[in-house]
Structure 1
Amino acid sequence: MTVFPDILRRPDFVSVRVDEKTYVLEANSDITWSGPGVDVEAQISANGLHIALDASAPIKTITLRWRGSFPAGARFLGDAWERGYGDLEWRGMVAERPLPWYFLATNGTQSAGYGVDTGANSLCNWRVDDGGITLQLHVGCGDSGVQLGGRHLEVATVRQLESEASAFETARAFCRMLCPSPLLPSQPVYGGNDWYYAYGNNSRDSILRDSALISELSPGGDNLPFMVIDDGWQGCRAPENGGPWDISSARFGDMDDVASQMQQLGVRPGLWFRPLLTTANVPDSWRFGRRGGQRHLGGMTLDPSVPEALEFVAEDMRRFREWGFQLVKHDFSMMDIFGKWGFDMGTNPTGNNGWHFADRTRTSAEIIKDFFGTLRKAAGPDVMLIGCNTIGHLGAGLFELQRTGDDTSGYEWERTRKMGINTLAFRMSQHDTFFAVDADCVGLTTHVPWELNRQWLDVLARSGTPLFVSADPKALGAEQKQAMREAFAVAAKPQPTAEPLDWLDTTSPTRWKMGDEIKTYTWSQ
């Protein structure tokens, strides 16, 4: 017997927002609702509830409402617009709480999932209250209405799952339902990244030293470790960390030579970049109109709806591939598009100032997906992609890895606990169902207590997720090297997906089930 509201049915209420006006639509059939210059369709099939839009009016949002009630004591967990910020948790009902993309509900014995398929053509947000469920579909172009020009828009496919399995098992099954075609690494991903000890103060010499260390501590075999060169390698980093990406710092020299030397040392070379920010002299038409074409903190933000700007980005990605890099981490895209971090997006990710992309005929989600697809195509099949500050729900199927939380730290353990452990636990349901989940690095430095970092290293290695270590040479003694060697030996092989056993009760789970073993960690001194 179901105890949760059913939404795979005709919505009880449909409205749209045109400019600054909201219109309640009238039902004119079992599946369509109409208003001035707009028709919304909600068609039920075996695969879910398909939402579609035909409009001559510039539509910003579609809102669907289903009446219903949740069982007493139900608790809820939502996803995030992009990364988590230590704020993912099970909570009681909070009517104003934004629940981007999907949410889960549980009463302790039964659980349910409500969401939209990955790759939707809208930015989707749920809310729950004591009267039912609301789904808001942001179909605008930026913060302006989309101008479809007679084009039929498939907006999203709504899904629902109910289960008597545990909340964690239900979450895994639901994410698998939402993403039928994930793109996954062929082998477990592990290795090094220099950010959390170098923080941009890097060089060819430091990277080759790190590469030699990572290679030395890896278990050998055919699954070689990665060494990722993070921010700092580019030639025009100051005053902000943008491009152009065709020139490197004098500290690095020729990047194809750097990549070749890294491979000779026994690692697979990886590279970081911020694709949409550049100091290159680009045409005004490529510049993001949301900022009026003005320079953004020392760089120009590219508009990803402009085909020539996308080709400019694609050239960078192809160049990285030609240099010999086998993994590319692309970063800051949602900040560069929306001008804010995910924790500031609330129920309206696009803001309230009327901005729009140059191409007003496509939704924000369509433009972002095209941008992600351009990166994927340019990378080719042999270069792995990590999305950071990107929308996982739109990148699933295009990226092998996704950074699912904000930065951990090589300075503050509390930041690692807040960001890293939280996202590892609460987005573990997306691991190997959307992509491989990267909960971020172990910042192995003298600033962070080794006893805490040792446990963070261990839980990542055993979790089945990617493991990256930022190892400051000054912090490495025999004990640290041996712990890294053991962690890499585990992480290099497929592991069962770890389950946070106490995630219903804390934002930083301490009890983890790893295969047949249960381990308890201590995240405070």
Structure 2
Amino acid sequence: MREPSAVFVQSGDDLITATRRDATWSAAGVDVSWLDGPIEVTADTVTRVALRWSYPLPADALILGDAWERSYGDLQWRHQQPERLLPWYFLIHDPATGRTTGLGVEVQPNAFAAWTVDTHGATLWLDLRNGGGPTNLGGRTLRAATVRLFDDAGTPWLTLEAAVATMSSRLPARPEPAPVVGANNWYYAYGENFDEKAVLTDAATIVELADGHPIKPFSVVDDGWYPGGIASGGPWDQGIPGVFDDLAGTAASIRALGARPGLWFRPLLVRSSSPHARPGPHDKPGRALDPSYPEVLDLVRADLTRFKDWGFELVKHDFSTYDVFGAFGPAMGSRLTESGWQLHDPSRTTAEIVLAFYREIRDAAQDVVLIGCNTVGHLAAGLVDVQRTGDDTSGRDWERTRKMGVNTLAFRLPQHGRFFTVDADCVPCTPQTPWELNERFLDLIARSGTALFLSIDPSARTERIDRALSAGIRLALDGGDAGGIEPTDWLVNTTPTEWRSGGGTIHYDWSQPWGAQEEKAQPVS
């Protein structure tokens, strides 16, 4: 791989061109070393580093990138757009030659890394900040990221699969995971008007529809089981009095019905002010916990231990990116968060702190199946079992399921089995959404072999719907189509309708009779 043609550093307000000596570029007290892939940064304080590679870009090239955390229906191949930020990796497809190549960084870097691509080359932007200010490295050398080159593997799809494998090649080998299939009550209950009886109905339903399959499905108690209201934060030591009085008993009852119990929580938010909250911008001041405090990691570890002791076999941890940065992915952009604040420990980059937080959860969870939601996929790779790769689908508005669910499955499916098990989010079965469209989404996810969760409103069940649900659940529990699936029109369609499966092609029509409409506001989980 060629060395950079230029390097820029920022420790104060301005980005300064660095001067090269051998394999090191220096400016403003910051040294950047290029080690044929690994990038090391030595400094007292540092904000950003940028590395530039110069090479011509085909005029009609199509370019694909990833997302900071979940995608939001926005992943797509686009023509040249120099200001477009491409988190973690990018591919360039040349229609004239049919070749696809690209660059990216290995998973679990110590910087938030993104690319920009223009007519004359590509630039890697390494955000080395702590919160919204500089990191005080104190003269230490930080392995910021390791760059990898992706050569053409025959098709754009095969090249993306090879790229993902390359970026995750240093992770420990993943054991062959059992299919992750189950019930989740969010998209019909939305955190309200449900109790232990409803949870046990969900568990009985998913077991009934699995129809004796030897792999047991999960039944997940999503947001709304604890005092305080939806997404209001911990402590996570009890359920709502009179509704969930005995969470250990609830887990045991789910297990007695033949399902594996799961639980949702928001680890970095508390319901009342905490001395360990971060000072940065947030709509809940004083309540978003700062994961650079050892006391916060101790608290999270205690939560995981409690959930295990209650008997839950799956834990979904949510909202942590929002609680650290004060924004969801689309609002993070190139700045990530507002300037002028730092985390409690300013000697580590935000990426280092987030990685330590994920590692603490992984270590505390032991053999509990972990789902990361609103977690940073490139940092969480290897540290969660399942990753919600897209924003919420919907039990109220089909258009949101089409936009979010189909898009993330199509463009992040190559991450499945390499970074983690991909979760494109739940398949709703509700009276408010058209079953004929949800059924197609169910069929696609089941064939993909990715995680399949279903939100089944008991009032929506019919004999016909039950037959379709059971067929999809059993296909997913079998691992999906043996040969895998692949979108064949993804170069020109953000929600592909043509998919190669089992040696043939399947067409999915995602459109409602009146076409796409503006999506409605949805509760987030």
Q: TM-score, normalised by structure 1?
A: 0.94
**Contact 1:244–1:280, Cα closer than 8 Å, also in 2:** no
Give the aligned partner of residue 19 of structure 1.
12
**Contact 2:11–2:28, Cα closer than 8 Å, also in 1:** no
Q: Give the counterpart of 1:456 among 423, 441, 452.
A: 441
Deviations 1:351-391 (A, max 9, x none): 3x2211100000010000000001101101x2011110110
- Say whether 1:192 aligns with 2:178: no
- Say whether 1:369 aligns with 2:348: no
Identity %: 46
Q: Give the counterpart of 1:210 among 202, 206, 213.
A: 202
Give the aligned partner of residue 468 of structure 2.
483
**Alpha-carbon distance, 1:280 to partner:** 5.2
Give the aligned partner of residue 521 of structure 2.
none
Of stretches 119-128 and 72-81 in structure 1, the one that deviates more from structure 2 is 72-81
- Say whether 1:400 aligns with 2:400: no
- Say whether 1:271 aligns with 2:232: no
**Alpha-carbon distance, 1:87 to partner:** 0.5
Give the aligned partner of residue 131 of structure 2.
142
SS at match of 2:232: coil
Q: Give the counterpart of 2:485 among 479, 484, 498.
A: 498
Q: Give the counterpart of 1:90 among 72, 77, 86.
A: 77
Q: Give the counterpart of 2:146 among 157, 165, 171.
A: 157
Of stretches 389-398 and 219-228 in structure 1, the one that deviates more from structure 2 is 219-228
Deviations 1:205-230 (A, max 9, x none): 10001100111111434310001110
Deviations 1:437-458 (A, max 9, x none): 1000011101101111111111
- Pairing 1:10-409 to 2, within 5 Å after superposition: 10-29=3-22, 31-44=23-36, 49-56=37-44, 58-108=45-95, 109-180=98-169, 181=171, 183=174, 186-201=177-192, 202-237=194-229, 240-250=231-241, 251-279=243-271, 282=274, 284=275, 286-291=276-281, 296-297=283-284, 300-351=287-338, 353-380=339-366, 382-409=367-394
**Alpha-carbon distance, 1:184 to partner:** 5.9
**Contact 1:119–1:396, Cα closer than 8 Å, also in 2:** yes
Deviations 1:44-103 (A, max 9, x none): 1xxxx11001102x2110011111112232101100000000000000010000000001
**Alpha-carbon distance, 1:299 to partner:** 7.0
Of stretches 206-215 and 245-254 in structure 1, the one that deviates more from structure 2 is 245-254
- Say whether 1:419 aligns with 2:404: yes
AA at the equivalent of 1:268: R
**Alpha-carbon distance, 1:273 to partner:** 0.5
- Aligned structure 1 segments of 4 or more residues deviating by more than 4 angstroms: 182-185
**Alpha-carbon distance, 1:412 to partner:** 0.4
1:111 and 1:481, CA in 2 relative to 1: closer, same or farther beyond 3 A? same
**Alpha-carbon distance, 1:237 to partner:** 2.5
SS at match of 2:53: strand
**Alpha-carbon distance, 1:164 to partner:** 4.5
Give the aligned partner of residue 5 of structure 1.
none
What is the rounded CA distance, in whole Å, between the counterparts of 2:153 and 2:424 in structure 1? 28
Give the aligned partner of residue 429 of structure 1.
414
AA at the equivalent of 1:395: A
What is the rounded CA distance, in whole Å, between the counterparts of 1:391 and 1:497 in structure 2? 25
SS at match of 1:301: coil
**Alpha-carbon distance, 1:350 to partner:** 2.9
**Alpha-carbon distance, 1:113 to partner:** 2.5
AA at the equivalent of 1:397: G
Deviations 1:108-164 (A, max 9, x none): 411112100000000001000001100000011112111111221001000011115
1:401 and 1:303, CA in 2 relative to 1: closer, same or farther beyond 3 A? same
**Alpha-carbon distance, 1:298 to partner:** 8.2
5+ residue gaps, structure 1, are 1-7
Task: Please tell me the root mean square deviation across aligned C-alpha atoms, in Å.
Answer: 1.4
SS at match of 1:105: strand
**Alpha-carbon distance, 1:348 to partner:** 2.2
5+ residue gaps, structure 2, are 513-525
What is the rounded CA distance, in whole Å, between the counterparts of 1:123 and 1:331 in structure 2? 20
The alignment covers a number of residue pairs equal to 504
**Contact 1:270–1:328, Cα closer than 8 Å, also in 2:** yes
What is the rounded CA distance, in whole Å, between the counterparts of 1:481 and 1:21 in structure 2? 61
